[in-house]
Amino acid sequence: MTDTYHVRPGGALRGSLRVPGDKSISHRAIMLGAIAQGVTEVSGFLEGEDALATMNAFRAMGVRIEGPDQGRVTVHGVGKHGLKAPGRPLDCGNSGTSMRLLAGLLSGQGFAATLTGDDSLRRRPMGRVAQPLSLMGARIETEAGGLPPVRILPAPPLHGIHYDLPVASAQVKSAILLAGLYAVGETSVTEPEPTRDHTERMLTAFGYPVTREGATARLRGQGELKATPIDVPADISSAAFFMVGASIAPGSDITLTGVGINPTRTGIIDILKLMGADLTLQNQRLAGGEPVADIRVRHAPLHGIAVPESLVALAIDEFPALFVAAANAAGETVVTGAEELRVKESDRIQVMADGLQALGIAAQPTPDGMVIQGGKPYGGGVIDSRGDHRIAMSFAMAALRAGAPLTIRDCANVATSFPGFATLAAQAGLGLDAA
């Protein structure tokens, strides 16, 4: 395991590269493939620890899954009622998506199951899924304060509900919709801001009708899913580190190929463009019901902005990288309305502010975001990523403009979302040694 990154200052990113498959779509391909009728062939699957945790959970429930082999996975669907009670707690590792979506899916099964995870995941809020699932008739228990482990007990058939999401969360929306597959009647979810809609799109691809009216997604329970091939695009959230790196490093010119550009995920592109970045989308096409493109990024001088709150949910995983962009953007960048960052794999507001300050960057955390005075020279130093994959990769890119080397600690979890990051980044021109 690669725990510490040593990154030399300076350099530029160049060339054409493909980042690994989309994490959100990879999770869903396993989940929906498992409960579909027939065999689902997946290509471009993310062979990262989070998606593998989902895969192992379904294997523990009796689903035969072959692979992954160079991104190819074959899921032998058991149908909606074919899962078997797992003989042990299901370990979701670091993955909030596994735990929250499984909580919804398992609520409808009629057998008992326990969901647990690593130290980070066991600090993350699960009451946000337990509460609406209980309203549907699920018997679901958490530890005090809504923390994992999550225990799901056998319950009579669920019934559909309408739920107004109190926070913009695709994981909560998806948990409710997946439980809704097993519920009597109609289940609908209204979201306060658009969030990623991969669950809705993939259900439709599996022949399960989901309707959308404005901010509300709706489905009727008790239909069937039919296996369909899934071609997973490259993950825009992984591409984001290279978009930021190339934008801030003079002389950079990279093309990121086959990146998913689902409009519920492209906040990073919009925000970087507002800051003056030079990004162009080429060769736009559809792959497996999802839009993809090659994204060319060339260095450009960035300037600070007030990030529109309407873009926050559409870039929710990209803020660690965006804070690094802001540190390299002339003037002030203000992020508000992003309090969800405090309950991700780490408290991403505090951990990023601590790291930026360690480099000498004026970064002031606020309850729901950050204020960064950017565009001034900064130094190197030691960064603690707190085991958060996206913090580690963001600071690796910060080295491109640092005045001295960076040592980034606790990077092993990069493997949850971006196996091979250190090698790919070094090939592109980052002075990264993983020890």
Active site residues: 317
| Helix-strand-coil split of the chain, %, nearest 5 | 35, 30, 35
Which residues, 326 to 355, sit near ligand S3P by CB under 6 A?
340
> Can residue 257 be called a binding residue for ligand S3P (CB under 6 A)?
no
Strands (E) located in 109-215: 113-116, 139-143, 147-153, 162-164, 186-190, 211-213
Annotate 380-424 with DSSP letters as a single string.
-EEEE-TT-HHHHHHHHHHGGGBSS-EEEE--TTHHHH-TTHHHH
Position among 174, 247, 328, 346 found at the interface with ligand S3P (CB under 6 A): 174
Contact stretch for ligand S3P (CB under 6 A) within 167-175, 223-231, 348-356, 381-389: 167-175
Pairing of strands 147-153, 113-116: antiparallel
Q: How far is the CB of 157 from ligand S3P (least distance, A)?
A: 26
What is the x/- site pattern for ligand S3P, positions 14-53, by CB under 6 A?
Answer: ----------x-----------------------------
**What DSSP designation does 193 have?**
S
Which residues have C-beta within 8 Å of that of residue 43, sequence separation ≥ 6? 71, 72, 229, 230, 231, 232
Q: How far is the CB of 301 from ligand S3P (least distance, A)?
A: 30
> Can residue 169 be called a binding residue for ligand S3P (CB under 6 A)?
yes
Contact stretch for ligand S3P (CB under 6 A) within 166-174, 221-229, 319-327, 398-406: 166-174
Q: Are 239 and 254 in contact (CB under 8 A)?
A: no
CA 342 to centroid of chain Cα atoms: 15
Q: Which of 56, 341, 31 is nearest to 199 (CA)?
A: 31
Q: Are 239 and 255 in contact (CB under 8 A)?
A: no
- The dihedrals phi and psi of 272, each to the nearest 5 degrees, come to -60, -40
Q: How far is the CB of 344 from ligand S3P (least distance, A)?
A: 6
Residue closer to ligand S3P, measured from CB, 40 or 262: 262
Q: Which helix (H) or strand (E) holds 68?
A: strand 64-69
Residue closer to ligand S3P, measured from CB, 3 or 339: 339
- H helices of 293-360, in order, are 319-327, 348-358
Residue closer to ligand S3P, measured from CB, 200 or 231: 200
> Can residue 311 be called a binding residue for ligand S3P (CB under 6 A)?
no
Which residues, 360 to 399, sit near ligand S3P by CB under 6 A?
none
Residue closer to ligand S3P, measured from CB, 192 or 250: 192
Would you give the end-to-end CA distance of the chain in angstroms? 9
Binders of ligand S3P: how many residues, by CB under 6 A?
A: 11
Residue closer to ligand S3P, measured from CB, 311 or 399: 311
> Can residue 316 be called a binding residue for ligand S3P (CB under 6 A)?
yes
Q: How far is the CB of 142 from ligand S3P (least distance, A)?
A: 16
Position among 193, 235, 294, 317 found at the interface with ligand S3P (CB under 6 A): 317
Long-range contact set of residues 363-370: C-beta below 8 Å, sequence gap at least 24: 363/323, 363/327, 366/336, 367/339, 368/336, 368/337, 368/338, 368/339, 369/307, 369/334, 369/335, 369/336, 369/337, 369/338, 369/339, 369/341, 370/323, 370/326, 370/333, 370/334, 370/335
Residue closer to ligand S3P, measured from CB, 140 or 400: 140
- The residue whose Cβ lies closest to ligand S3P is 24
Q: How far is the CB of 257 from ligand S3P (least distance, A)?
A: 22
Three-class SS state of 229? coil
Contact stretch for ligand S3P (CB under 6 A) within 163-171, 175-183, 267-275, 401-409: 163-171
Position among 56, 97, 257, 328 found at the interface with ligand S3P (CB under 6 A): 97
Residue closer to ligand S3P, measured from CB, 35 or 361: 35
Contact stretch for ligand S3P (CB under 6 A) within 12-20, 67-75, 165-173, 290-298: 165-173
Contact stretch for ligand S3P (CB under 6 A) within 144-152, 168-176, 211-219, 262-270: 168-176
Position among 196, 201, 218, 299 found at the interface with ligand S3P (CB under 6 A): 196
Contact stretch for ligand S3P (CB under 6 A) within 152-160, 169-177, 218-226, 264-272: 169-177
* Residue that the structure tokens 């993350």 belong to: 124
C-alpha dist (Å) from residue 143 to 22, 88, 155: 31, 18, 19
In the complex, the residues that contact ligand S3P under the rule CB under 6 A are: 24, 97, 169-171, 174, 195-196, 316-317, 340
